Structure 1
Amino acid sequence: MRAPTARYLAVPVLLLLTAACGAEPALDTPAASASAPVVAGKKINLSPDQNRIRTEKVAAIAAKVPKEVAADGKLLVGFSASGSPPLVSPATDDTTLIGVETDLAQLVADVLGLEFTPQSSSWENLFLAAKSSKYEAVFSNVTVTEERKDTYDFATYRIDQLAWQVPDNSPIKEIKGPADIAGLRVSVGSGTNQEKILLDWDRENRAAGRKPVEILYYEKYGDVLLSLKSGRVQAYFGPNPNIAYNIAVSGGSRIVGTFSGAGPGLQGLIAAMTKKGNGLVGPLNEALNTVIDNGTYKQVLERWGLANEAIPESQVNPPGLPRQEPS
């Protein structure tokens, strides 16, 4: 594992982003501090012995899986190795991947009659592996975006909610728009949709004559939390599930604003991702709607304290985060 590093950026230096949720700073040792933390009233099992919720094969849907995917009887699913709970993270054995993402992928594999085969990768390589068909699907907190839809197909399974995290003793009471972050030192995950939103807000602030935001990037969420505690960073912008989990388990901070991962005017959606046009997105969509209808989807979200991120039905390639506007 690389030593923790921070990268500092004083905006207005703008980045060309490949926007998607995920690639968040990783926890140093997810689960080491508590064998059964309680989140949203639920005890979270962080051991490798997950006893996952399972469901039955649906032959009519399984028959629609492309032959090249079904040939080996496995569904190869990619996850970011640098994730954090309750989305996806290593269990207490530091090897087995656990979380709401792996549980939902297991249910989909069950419906398709395939053996769930998790694959771990860096965030960037998830997309390359899906594009090359090395991974048949990706379940790793990926937001639907208009740019990604050029290359990938998506079947949605959760809403995408972002949050602002500040220390308990922070004077910041609420962050609801660009003016509230002018001149602040903040942290955000590199290459994420929240980074795009943050940079859009900063561009709006500078156009209005407000102070620019100062951004620090960290590889590990633990380093973000230390920076918040020390005052080096005044706020962190990241996925709501990760932040809410941390606050429930560890305390010491609070949420001062939540936002759609697709920006203003559109509810962001998290989706299973597969190579565009390979024929798998249809069966993935039908499998997700099957587990939504039979209740196992709800059980998985409740198990990880994410019942408030449920969707009523899975959609294929819905409107996503708008394309990056030229600066």
Structure 2
Amino acid sequence: MHRRLAAATAFAALLALAACGNPDEIEATVADPAASGGTQKINTSPDQNRVRAEKVDAIAAKVPEAIRADGTLAVGVSGEGSPPLAFRADDDRTIIGVEPDIAQLVADVLGLELDLRPTSWENLFLVIRSGQNEVGFSNITVTEERKDIYDFASYRVDSLGWEVKKDGKIDKIEKPADIAGLTVSVGSGTNQEQVLLRWDAQNKAAGLAPAKIVYYQRPTEYQLALRSGQIDAYFGPNPSVVYHAAVSGETKVVGVVPGGGEVPAQIAAMTKKGNGFATALSEALNTVIQNGRYAEVLARWGLSTEAIPTSEVNPPGLPRK
């Protein structure tokens, strides 16, 4: 069953709620701040009618033979449900979201058929490293440590958001001191976990109360914990927390920080180190950036503020720990 939601997005502000429902079942109407007014409907049906691009022979020729031999592009995406990044459509099977849409554009430019392969966050890195999947499009932050093992082609700004209960007492989280003594949740093994641990260490060094950090495997688990008051806040990808706050009507976003906490970060397509694929990926991304298809995809999901002007191969990553 579809429900209709009217909301306005802003980069650092919460979407305004007009209806509530399960984020995997909702048909949303979101105002894109980069659009010329009005609202846009977010299609959560299996029939996505994705924005498509044309093959560019010169770029397709740069795809390593081992990857283009079967004519498909095996793409690892999140299978855990993180709208609007990657989540299951109303049929509970089809993977949709901004990450699959960008992967589709890249596959088109490279002349390959898109093969989406949902997996857990922890397994994503293993299947890319083993070559089982050829590239990952899963809100992956570029870090200097990850560059030791993987190659990257950037395509989006990384931003993180703080989500709290809507009727709670927390109105702002923008610095380490704001989380002193709170019970907070974050995804294990993520970049935001490193930011959170760094903030907590700074608080302890300053004599402030430590945060209690809680980990959950699935988004639905942290969402339930937030609603029930078991945790005070959740720290995750800004697109996901803004979307959930809008569709649930029970939470709000009270702070947005760069992906590195204090420093900017980039989201990138990730491939196995040294396989020669990153250049073709970056050139494909720059093609759709230049011809406007990339902007269409971001606008479709209300993420125009996270656009980058140019894709880079192995851009500067977050510093080593």
Q: How does the TM-score come out when normalised to structure 2?
A: 0.89
Matches within 5 A, 1:245-284: 245-264=243-262, 266-284=263-281
1:78 aligned residue (72, 76, 79) = 76
Match of 1:311 among 308, 311, 315: 308
Aligned to 1:37: 28
Q: Is the 8 A contact 1:101 1:140 kept in 2?
A: yes
Unmatched 5+ stretches in structure 2: 1-20, 32-38
Paired letter, 2:68: A
Instruction: Measure, in 2, the Cα distance between the counterparts of 1:307 and 1:275.
Output: 28
Equivalent in the alignment of 1:202: 200
Equivalent-residue separation in structure 1 for 2:202 and 2:243 (angstroms): 31
- 3-state SS in 2 of match to 1:82: coil
Asked if the contact 1:65–1:283 (Cα under 8 Å) also holds between the matched residues in 2, the reply is: yes
User: Distance in 2 between the 1:120 and 1:225 partners?
Assistant: 21
Q: What code does the residue aligned with 2:30 have? A: V
- 1:192 equivalent in structure 2: 190
C-alpha distance in structure 2 between counterparts of 1:42 and 1:84, whole Å: 20
Identity over aligned pairs, percent:
60
| In 2: Cα distance, 1:157 partner to 1:63 partner | 21
- The one-letter code sitting in structure 2 at the alignment partner of 1:309 is E
Q: Which residue of 1 aligns with 2:17?
A: none
* RCO comparison, higher one (Cα < 8 Å, 6+): 1
Deviation at 1:30, TM superposition (A): 4.4
**Cα distance between partner residues in 2 of 1:66 and 1:225:** 42
Cα offset for 1:44? 1.1
Cα distance, 1:237 vs. partner? 0.6
- The separation in 2 between residues aligned to 1:97 and 1:168, in whole angstroms, is 29
Cα deviation, residue 256, structure 1: 1.3
Structure-1 residue corresponding to 2:146: 148
Q: What RMSD over aligned residues (CA atoms) do the two structures have, in Å?
A: 1.4
Report deviation, 1:231.
1.8
How far residue 50 of structure 1 moved from its aligned partner, in angstroms, is 0.7
Q: 3-state DSSP class of the match of 1:244? A: helix
Matched residue of 1:47: which SS?
coil
Q: What SS does the aligned partner of 1:194 have?
A: helix
CA shift for structure 1 position 272: 0.2
For 1:1-327, list aligned pairs within 5 A.
Answer: 30-32=23-25, 34=26, 36-40=27-31, 41-264=39-262, 266-324=263-321
How much does 1:223 deviate? Answer: 2.6
Contact 1:99 1:304 in 2 (8 A): yes
Q: What is the CA-CA distance between 1:257 and the residue it aligns to?
A: 1.0
**Counterpart in the other structure of 2:8:** none
1:163-221 CA-to-partner distances (Å, cap 9, x unmatched) read 11111222222111111111011111111111111111111111111111011212232
CA distance in 2, matches of 1:147, 1:214: 26
Q: Give the Cα–Cα distance (whole angstroms) in 2 for the partners of residues 142 and 261 of structure 1.
A: 10
Deviations 1:22-42 (A, max 9, x none): xxxxxx96422x3x2123332
